[in-house]
Amino acid sequence: MVNDSTNHPRPCTDSSYPRQRTVVERMAMAIALCSERGVKLTPLRQKVLELLWESGRPTGAYEIIEALKTGSDRPIAPPSVYRALDFLISEGFVSKIESRNAYVACMHPERQSDCIFLICDECGSSVELEDRRVKQLLEEEAAKRRFRVCKPVVELEGTCRRCIEANPT
């Protein structure tokens, strides 16, 4: 058995991934990726992505629109925010958490990771995990059924460690 880190699920906030720890570094990476791909990370797309990174938890579109309003004196058109979110999702920078109807930014924009989220019911925080075993298993099972996956997002709801420790039963 190779004790390879790819065999172990790990939170993307893990400090063993020292790259792009700050929002500024992550944004620089996202901009570079977009220019490589020939797409544009417009100021609105950047602002939405930045807000999601700063929030660090699944955030609803309405909340994003409100936050954009406070940071700007120009009116924000909700459809353009939805279009920006669609773009960020298609580039793999953001995932939609269907159970919350909310959006969360991926911690490592350069990695097309499978999106496994642990979502806390108490505080609303989310942690993103990467685990190739889960990805592989899901791909195999889908392929067996000739099912074409377009949105491989796995959501686990429960209580985070912080909330458990704050409220032991």
Which is closer to Zn ion, CB of 33 or CB of 163?
163
**Minimum CB separation from Zn ion for residue 23, in Å?**
22
Contact 122, 160 (CB under 8 A): yes
Phi-psi region at 72: left, alpha or beta (left = phi > 0; alpha = psi -120 to 50): beta
Which is closer to Zn ion, CB of 20 or CB of 55?
55
Residue 121 binding Zn ion, by CB under 5 A: no
Residue 123 binding Zn ion, by CB under 5 A: yes
Contact 119, 104 (CB under 8 A): no
- CA 42 → CA 48, 81, 121, 134, distances in Å? 10, 12, 33, 34
List 122, 140, 141, 157, residue binding Zn ion (CB under 5 A): 122
Residue 33 binding Zn ion, by CB under 5 A: no
Which is closer to Zn ion, CB of 37 or CB of 162?
162
- Look at the block and give the residue holding tokens 């901009």: 31
User: Interface residues with Zn ion (CB under 5 A)?
Assistant: 120, 122-123, 160, 163
